[in-house]
Amino acid sequence: MFKLNLKIALRNLWRNIGITSINVGGLAVALAAFMLLMMYFTYETSFDKKNPNFDNIYIVGRTFPDFKTNYTPPPFGKAIKENFSEVVAVGKMKKGGFELAVSSHTSTVFTKQQLFVEYEAAKMFNIIPEGGLKKPNGNEFLYYLSKPYMQTLFPNKKDTKPEMVSIGSRSAEQFGEVRGSIVPDSHSNISFDAVSIVNEIGTGESYGHPNYFTYIQVKPGTDIASLELKINNLYHSELTKNGMVDEGEDVTETNAFLDPLKNQHLKPKAGSDANYKVLIALSVLGFLILVIACINFTNLSIAQAAKRAKEVGVKKVMGAYRFQLTIQFLIEILMQCLVATVLGLIIAEIVLPKFNSLFLVHLSIWNKENGLIWQLPVILLFITLIAGIYPAMVLSGFKPAAVLKGNFQTSRQSYWLRNSLLVVQFSIAVIFITGLLIINSQLKYMRTQDVGFNPEQVVYVKNLVYYTKPEVFAPVREKIMKIPGVKAVTVANAIPDGSGMGGNGYTVEGKQHSLSFLDVDYDYFETLNIKLKEGRAFSTSFQADAVNSAILNEAAVAKYGIQNPIGKTIRGCNIDYTIVGVINDLKAEGFEKAVEPTIYAINNPCGNPKTEIMVKVDEQRMAEVLAILKSQWSDINKRDGDNFRYHFLDELYGKLFAKQEQLQSVFFAAALLTIFIAILGLFAFAKYITNGRIKEIAVRKILGANDLQIFKLINTSFFVMVMIANLISWPLAYILTKKWLETFAYRIEIPILPFVLSALITIMLTIITVTIQANRAVRANPVDALKYE
């Protein structure tokens, strides 16, 4: 019986090869997209899951009235360990501030992610060097490089013995010992290419040095809410005990919190959850694409039901039960889904390199960790049931007497279901088209909007030297300015690339608020072409500028509500600054975050050292200037002279748009894919409808109807369905795009044009598709359709 049913299934599929190809092809393309997005979802949601302590690790953070941060003072971790028995381990980490050159006799690598890790933190995060994790002796630093870097420096190394390397410029003759290599987990939030393991970091530093990441590991089953409350109370008492708050001052303005390790990659409390929202959007997108393909499958299967009616009638007369027929048709559908899955895997493998390039990942279909091994059978079963259960029930439910008498007619319920599914299909397509157009509008706005500074033609030069005082940087500026084509040179403790700045409390006219601070040098505003709203920029003509002058941005002035700020005093870091200027706000952190109220000063004892050199270059002489800088760098910057390295500031700033550009690319692909699948289904459905109305068309032509009237007749029902789809999808598209736009502090108002364009696109495609399919029936000779009547 199985063999017979298999033959019938194969013959039936071959007889309707056109519909079968559309069914299988559309489903295969959708499955390929769904598999890629599911692999990406699995990858993004499984960071650090290899860590055996994954569920019990938390980072300690702090909440201020205006922001949250994961940076904590070094003594706090030790206090937590001493006071709470449910905390089994505490470890601190700190990121290095420099890109260091590490050299052997033959090669050089640049460590961009230097990490200082306590021994307890290394155990907690499974940071195990090759040869095993060793506990440092006393204040000893155990320095390790990543495996790829170690192989570059010592390609022929076979043993595990330490090696001597030069750190920084070779001319500085600073040497260190590399104890070995570590294979870094590329799927972890803790990333590094060089790591120093020590017993304790931050020794001797107080609660006034919150520059460390503090992680705790708790006992399984710990009440985290209760522990968080106790840690917060401890933090307040520690601040009071160590003199960090004045007597009677409200300590509750700063609170400690715990954030689980599983949140750190996608939705940290002290950070943006934009990545999480984008991931959810991509996951929903992938699911909707699969739903469209399943709708296509269901619609076409129901449309083909009439051709199987006599087969069902004969089988029922011969004694077949409805259950047996349902299983038979489900197996047929399973066969098609299985072929579609294999084709989907092939398509996914072909597209994967482009996908990896777009999302900057290294996914592989044949990697067991991506979850496809168990996901594919589930997906196959899911689509078989979703796409096949209703058609199978319809086919198996035909009444033998009716179909064998020749008066079989599909039910009105099937008619409404087919039309409803087509409406849903086009509704999803319209949402994608509208979403794509609105994303394009927001990205165009971001690219063309004035960001408050000009990063173009600005070269950011890597550097190891502290230029905290202007007189130290003055000789460097003078040498660089002598190069033909250089317009301006400055140094600061941060560059406007979205990396953020430090924060501190400042008081104006009795009002205290937390401000971001940026430590700059002369010509900072000129180099970046930052416009002054009022007052003046820092100048060597005013000696006080290097001591206690400050410039605020518009957001800071608005925060304090200062009227006529020039000449007024702002106090912070135990210095009374005189406000000498106000600048326009600059979107240094992109469009997703509101501009931080910021203070700019040359002298700031609370800030980080000024190391970031920026050079404004004439556009016509960029290559010449870079060549001269490279050749003269050993004289300009003796400490780092061997290794001249640079980036273009506009490229660094442009990376802030990367996630949204990814979303744009994915929505573009999704819009094309959904339109393609919908048009495939529409094409086959129109063919079915047209074939069913051949005699009606012939009669109308005999009675005098012209071709245009018949085309209008056939298109009318599809036009109505597409319009209904647009009316349904517009509110949904509006709500979804509004939610997405709300993730931006600076955004467009939702325009009407994308909704109008999506309607025009879908209507035009529908008319063209249906007209092409109906053309043969319209052009046919009426005699051929009616000669047997």
On whether both 489 and 609 belong to a single domain, the answer is yes
pLDDT reported for residue 552: 95
pLDDT reported for residue 10: 66
Q: Kindly indicate the confidence band of residue 600, based on its pLDDT and cuts at 50, 70 and 90.
A: very high
- Considering only residues 67 and 472, tell me which one the structure prediction assigns the higher pLDDT: 472
Relative to beta strand 175-182, strand 142-146 is parallel
Identity (one letter) of the amino acid at 403? V
- Considering only residues 288 and 523, tell me which one the structure prediction assigns the higher pLDDT: 523
Measured CA to CA in angstroms, residue 787 lies from 255, 591, 693, 699 at distances of 88, 70, 15, 12
Residue at 729 is within a domain:
yes
- DSSP letter at 103 equals E
Separation between Cα atoms, residue 656 and residue 648, nearest integer Å? 14
Query: Would you say residue 401 has pLDDT above 70?
Result: no
Separation between Cα atoms, residue 283 and residue 407, nearest integer Å? 46
Percentage of residues in the chain having pLDDT higher than 70: 87
Mean pLDDT of the chain: 84
201-243 tens-digit pLDDT: 988 888 877 889 999 999 999 999 999 999 999 998 888 887 7
Domain boundary among 637, 656, 675: 656
On whether both 627 and 666 belong to a single domain, the answer is no
Q: What is the mean pLDDT of residues 519-529?
A: 94
Number of domains in the chain: 3
* CA 485, 490, 496, 497 torsion-angle sign: positive
Q: Of 110-119, 133-142, 219-228, 686-695, which gets the smallest average pLDDT?
A: 686-695
The segment with the largest mean pLDDT, out of 30-44, 299-313, 768-782, is 30-44
Measured CA to CA in angstroms, residue 468 lies from 495, 583, 603, 640 at distances of 15, 22, 8, 17
The total number of residues shown for the chain amounts to: 789
Residue at 110 is within a domain:
yes
Relative to beta strand 163-167, strand 175-182 is antiparallel
Q: What is the mean pLDDT of residues 83-110?
A: 88
Torsion from C-alpha of 440, 442, 446, 447, nearest 10 degrees = 20
On whether both 630 and 682 belong to a single domain, the answer is no
Query: Would you say residue 662 has pLDDT above 60?
Result: yes
Separation between Cα atoms, residue 772 and residue 762, nearest integer Å? 15
Beta-ladder partners of 118: 198
- Considering only residues 776 and 656, tell me which one the structure prediction assigns the higher pLDDT: 656
Residue at 554 is within a domain:
yes
pLDDT reported for residue 584: 93
Separation between Cα atoms, residue 528 and residue 525, nearest integer Å? 5
pLDDT reported for residue 627: 93
Residue at 179 is within a domain:
yes
- Considering only residues 55 and 11, tell me which one the structure prediction assigns the higher pLDDT: 55
- DSSP letter at 226 equals H
Separation between Cα atoms, residue 290 and residue 674, nearest integer Å? 9
pLDDT reported for residue 1: 57
On whether both 590 and 479 belong to a single domain, the answer is yes
Q: What is the mean pLDDT of residues 618-645?
A: 86
Q: Of 170-174, 316-320, 463-467, 562-566, which gets the smallest average pLDDT?
A: 316-320
* CA 501, 506, 508, 510 torsion-angle sign: positive
pLDDT reported for residue 379: 80
Residue at 628 is within a domain:
yes
Cβ atoms of 538 and 595 within 8 Å: the answer is no
Residue 444: helix, strand or coil by DSSP?
helix
pLDDT reported for residue 423: 86
Domain boundary among 220, 240, 263: 263
Query: Would you say residue 317 has pLDDT above 70?
Result: no
Report the predicted TM-score, pTM, of the whole model to 2 decimal places: 0.80
Cβ atoms of 540 and 569 within 8 Å: the answer is no
Q: Which of 555, 465, 559 is nearest to 507 (CA)?
A: 559
Query: Would you say residue 749 has pLDDT above 90?
Result: yes
pLDDT reported for residue 251: 63
Cβ atoms of 328 and 395 within 8 Å: the answer is no
Cβ atoms of 213 and 72 within 8 Å: the answer is yes
**Token pair of 125, please?**
């995060």
On whether both 603 and 680 belong to a single domain, the answer is no
Q: Of 307-316, 346-355, 754-763, which gets the smallest average pLDDT?
A: 307-316
Q: What is the mean pLDDT of residues 153-159?
A: 85
On whether both 497 and 598 belong to a single domain, the answer is yes
Query: Would you say residue 34 has pLDDT above 60?
Result: yes
Rg (CA), the chain: 34
On whether both 599 and 737 belong to a single domain, the answer is no
Q: What contacts 598, CB < 8 A, 6 or more positions away?
A: 501, 515, 516, 517, 518, 552, 553, 555, 556
Q: Kindly indicate the confidence band of residue 648, based on its pLDDT and cuts at 50, 70 and 90.
A: very high
Q: What contacts 709, CB < 8 A, 6 or more positions away?
A: 700
Q: Kindly indicate the confidence band of residue 350, based on its pLDDT and cuts at 50, 70 and 90.
A: very high
On whether both 69 and 206 belong to a single domain, the answer is yes
Q: Kindly indicate the confidence band of residue 92, based on its pLDDT and cuts at 50, 70 and 90.
A: very high
DSSP per position, 630-699: HHHHHHH-GGGTT---EEEHHHHHHGGGHHHHHHHHHHHHHHHHHHHHHHHHHHHHHHHHHHHTHHHHHH
Query: Would you say residue 11 has pLDDT above 90?
Result: no
Query: Would you say residue 15 has pLDDT above 80?
Result: no
pLDDT reported for residue 717: 82
On whether both 210 and 80 belong to a single domain, the answer is yes
- Considering only residues 41 and 700, tell me which one the structure prediction assigns the higher pLDDT: 41
Residue at 275 is within a domain:
no
On whether both 638 and 661 belong to a single domain, the answer is no
Residue at 321 is within a domain:
no
**Token pair of 314, please?**
């004969």
Query: Would you say residue 587 has pLDDT above 80?
Result: yes
Q: Kindly indicate the confidence band of residue 582, based on its pLDDT and cuts at 50, 70 and 90.
A: very high
DSSP per position, 49-75: TTSTTGGGEEEEEEE-SS-EES-B-HH
Domain boundary among 217, 245, 263: 263
DSSP per position, 555-606: HHHHHHT-SS-TT-EEEETTEEEEEEEEE----TT-SSSPPPPEEEES--TT
Domain around 729:
411-450+657-789
Query: Would you say residue 90 has pLDDT above 90?
Result: yes
Q: Kindly indicate the confidence band of residue 700, based on its pLDDT and cuts at 50, 70 and 90.
A: confident
The segment with the largest mean pLDDT, out of 36-50, 357-371, 637-651, 669-683, is 36-50
On whether both 547 and 676 belong to a single domain, the answer is no
Q: What is the mean pLDDT of residues 332-360?
A: 87
- Alpha helices, DSSP H, located in 118-271: 119-124, 147-153, 224-241
On whether both 582 and 698 belong to a single domain, the answer is no
Residue at 335 is within a domain:
no
